[in-house]
Amino acid sequence: MHITAGIWVNDAESGLIADIDEWLETLAPFRRDYRHHRTGETNGDSHLKSLLVHHEVMVPVTAGRLDFGPWQQVYYAEFDGRRPKRVIIKAMGE
């Protein structure tokens, strides 16, 4: 529940997680010249990374359990850890 955090579902494989981290840093590296920094903040890259992975996911639940493939997990990324965060879980359906 914060604009500089992200959440996604993907395979639980350490090489892939490292590749995702590297990919995000390549696409949205820390730079001092982001226009957002003119507000006094220094987290422009965190906002951009959040746009890439987004802030919500929908996951299937069957018989009260997450219904993922054998390697899938939910990943939460904190791109700017300076603020308190909260998580909202909403269940829809029968």
pTM of the model: 0.85
pLDDT in tens, 51-80: 999 989 999 999 989 999 999 999 999 998
pLDDT at residue 1 tops 60? no
Q: What confidence score (pLDDT) does residue 82 get?
A: 72
Q: Where are the domains of the chain?
A: 5-78
Q: What confidence score (pLDDT) does residue 92 get?
A: 81
User: What CATH superfamily classification does 5-78 receive?
Assistant: YjbQ-like (2.60.120.460)
Q: What confidence score (pLDDT) does residue 26 get?
A: 98
Strand positions, DSSP E, the chain: 5-11, 61-62, 65-66, 72-78
Query: What percent of the chain stands above pLDDT 70?
Result: 98
Report the distance separating Cα 40 and Cα 44, nearest Å.
11
